[in-house]
Amino acid sequence: MKTMGLWLIVVCALSLSVSTQEGNEGSAATAIRAREREWVVAQSRNDNHALDLIFDDSLVYVEYGRLVTKGDYLSRIKRAAPQLSQIVMEPMAVRMFGSTAIAVGIYRERTVQEGKVRVRRWRFVDTWVFKKGTWVLVAAGAAPLTE
């Protein structure tokens, strides 16, 4: 769902509309939204321990046409050089299928590279599975929105 790098995050996504939306949903969907936010926060802090708990060991992540495993992802976070970036989550849709959940949404990524600010919006689709009492991410991917 998110690209690599050390991110500074502006958490400004919890608008009233989102809160209302969550209030109307089941607790499982709310839990998925919470996990999505945990992921963003953990990544912003380079918190590999938290990410380790969020990601299933067999996680497959597709970005820019590449396949990234959990090990790849965590090692890249670990050695990521600081860069000024922001991720802002837009409202997402969560569909529940028993112990499986699909989250589809958009996030806005603002990066600063060589003094230039770049803002891109990405559509993501994440698959969560309820395992051993918690929701873990088993698959994820994102594609840049062409606007």
Partner 1 sequence: MRTVTLVMLLACTGTPSIYAQELSDIDVTTKIVAMEHMWSQAYVLKDPKALERILDDAFVNVESDGKVITKADVLAEVKASAVLQVLTESMVVHVHGDTAIVTGVVLIKGVERGKAFAQRERFVDTWLYKNGQWVTIAGLVTPIRE
118 near partner 1, rule: CB under 8 A: no
138 Cβ contact partners less than 8 Å away, ≥ 6 residues apart = 56, 58, 59, 60, 127, 128, 129
Kindly give the pairing relationship between strand 116-131 and strand 134-144.
Answer: antiparallel
133 near partner 1, rule: CB under 8 A: no
The mark string for 75-104 relative to partner 1 (x by CB under 8 A, - otherwise) is --------------------x-xxxx-x-x
Residue of the chain from 58, 75, 83, 134 that contacts partner 1 (CB under 8 A): 58
Residue linked to tokens 């500074």? 8
Which of the residues 8 through 47 are near partner 1 (CB under 8 A)?
A: none
Structural element, H or E, at residue 116: strand 116-131
Q: Which is nearer to partner 1, 100 or 134 (CB)?
A: 100
144 near partner 1, rule: CB under 8 A: yes
121 near partner 1, rule: CB under 8 A: yes
CA 77, distance to chain mean position in Å, is 14
Enumerate the β-bridge partners of residue 102: 95, 127
Using CB under 8 A, list all residues that contact partner 1. Answer: 56-58, 60, 62-67, 95, 97-100, 102, 104, 121-125, 127, 129, 131, 138-146
